[in-house]
Each structure stands twice: as C-alpha cells, then as structure tokens.
Structure 1
C-alpha cells in the first residue's frame, strides 16, 4: 500500500495531490525507492535529489520516475473506490 498523497511539503504544508510517480535511485544493479511525487513536484524532487547526491547524503545514481499503477492480487483486493485517484489514461512523461 502506498500513501494517498505526494511526499512533498511546500512551506511546511503537505501536498494534497495524489501520487503519480514512484521516485527511485538506480545505481548499478540496485534500485532504492525514495518517495512519491505528483506531476507538479516532479522537477523539484529531481533537483533536490541531485543536490543531496552532490552532498553525499543520498546514493549516487540515476533518478527514476515510474508511474503509479493499480494492482490487484489474490491477497490484495481492490474495488473501484480504491482506484479513483489513479488516472490510467495519463500520458507518460
């Protein structure tokens, strides 16, 4: 399960937008998930991660944005109300 809101805070206030991308750092054969973001904050997050990498506070590697996808399994059942905030027709950026 993922949070229902973007991970970004602006001026101390949490973003109310639903997450659209899983943010991860890809380094060699490893990938580290670092958060979630909406389209509005995608560039801001990318820039902040670059700064943290330059300061040695985060793993070096390529920043990756993977679209959030709705998934159902035998043990996790989703009904239509669970998928309301995920726009499956959104173009990939």
Structure 2
C-alpha cells in the first residue's frame, strides 16, 4: 500500500495531490524506495535526494521514478465516505 498523498511538504503543509510516482534509488547494493510524489514535485524530490546523497544520508545511485497506476478490485469493501474525489 502507498500513502494517499505526495510525500512532499511545502511551507509546513502536506501536498494534497495523490502520488503518481514511486521514487527509488538504485545502487550497487540494491534498490531502495524512498517515497512517492506527484508530477509537480518530481524536480524538487530529485534536488533533495541529490543533496542527501552528497551528505551520505541516502545511498549513491540512480534516482528512479516509476509510474503508479490505480487498481480496483471487487474484493475490497470501501466506505463511500472514505473515497477521495479527484
């Protein structure tokens, strides 16, 4: 399961947009998922991850964005009040 919203926080407020991409770092040791983002915040996430890599807080490697697609099934029952309107 992924979060319902983009992982970016601007000016103390969470981004209200749903995630469009899973973000991972591919290194020699493996691939590490670091968050999810909307299309609007891809560049901001890339900048932040690059800085974290320089500081040694995130493994060195290629930053990868994988598109997410919504999937629905009939086996999961959802309360209509919990649905997010886009």
Q: Which ranges of structure 1 fall in alignment gaps of 5 or more residues?
A: 86-93
Please list every run of 5 or more consecutive structure 2 residues that lacks an aligned counterpart in the other structure.
Answer: none
Is 1:49 matched with 2:44? no
The equivalent residue for 1:27 is 27
Equivalent-residue separation in structure 1 for 2:23 and 2:77 (angstroms): 23
Q: Structure 2 length as normaliser, TM-score?
A: 0.81
Coordinate RMSD, CA, aligned: 2.6
Distance, in Å, in 2 between the alignment partners of 1:59 and 1:78 is: 39
1:72/1:78 contact within 8 Å kept: no
TM-score (normalised: structure 1): 0.75
In structure 2, what is the equivalent of residue 67 of structure 1?
A: 67
Matched with 2:4 is: 4
